[in-house]
A and B are shown apart, each in its own frame.
Chain A
Amino acid sequence: TQLLEQSPQFLSIQEGENLTVYCNSSSVFSSLQWYRQEPGEGPVLLVTVVTGGEVKKLKRLTFQFGDARKDSSLHITAAQPGDTGLYLCAGLLLNAGNMLTFGGGTRLMVKP
């Protein structure tokens, strides 16, 4: 059982559709990050959220940190084929040292 549960695990949608990916835990995090990974590459940071209730926007991507800092969501508006990839959330547990732990990932495919 992973500390951070991501859902859905797989998502296949048509270009132009909207989608939301969730990252949930029963633990409290001091910060939470979202990364995107392409095949054969390491993950690349999209955003970091640190305050409960925080919302950050990155073009068509909207990230939200839950009020209790136990969960986060990533919403993509009008998805494009270039959004295809593996989306990973990662969190730093509150008062638990320096272990940055990752969720299992959501594999997104956007078809033209």
Chain B
Amino acid sequence: NAGVTQTPKFQVLKTGQSMTLQCAQDMNHEYMSWYRQDPGMGLRLIHYSVGAGITDQGEVPNGYNVSRSTTEDFPLRLLSAAPSQTSVYFCASSYVAGNTEAFFGQGTRLTVV
């Protein structure tokens, strides 16, 4: 029972580089989301999806793109990395948002230099 799998666990990027953070879940959850966690800031919602083909912006979407071509996968793309995007990124999935348990991946620690 894998749950939510994020890759990579650690990444160092140079300013201006692009990359994709991968997220996959095997629980057939409709709702998936990406958060970033900075010290003292809790979790801030970047983008979310209520099902395949449907995505929407969260609280801090600038500089990030997402797509949801399948129920299982929800990749997060950094278009042109900036030092302000240094953070820990978490992917989460649940049957629906809010009333059911959100399962989180183990996080990706990203450093942009």
Contact = CB atoms under 8 A, between A and B. Distances in A.
A18 B64 CA distance: 42
Interface in B18-60: 31, 33, 35, 40-45, 48, 50, 56, 58-59
Interface stretch (A52-60, A67-75, A96-104): A96-104
A97 to B, nearest CB: 7
Contacts of B104: 41-44
Size bracket of the B interface: 20 to 34
A100 B48 CA distance: 9
B106 interface: yes
Contacts of B58: 99
Size bracket of the A interface: 20 to 34
A92 interface: yes
A100 B50 CA distance: 12
A48 B97 contact: no
B92 interface: yes
A104 B40 contact: yes
A40 B10 CA distance: 12
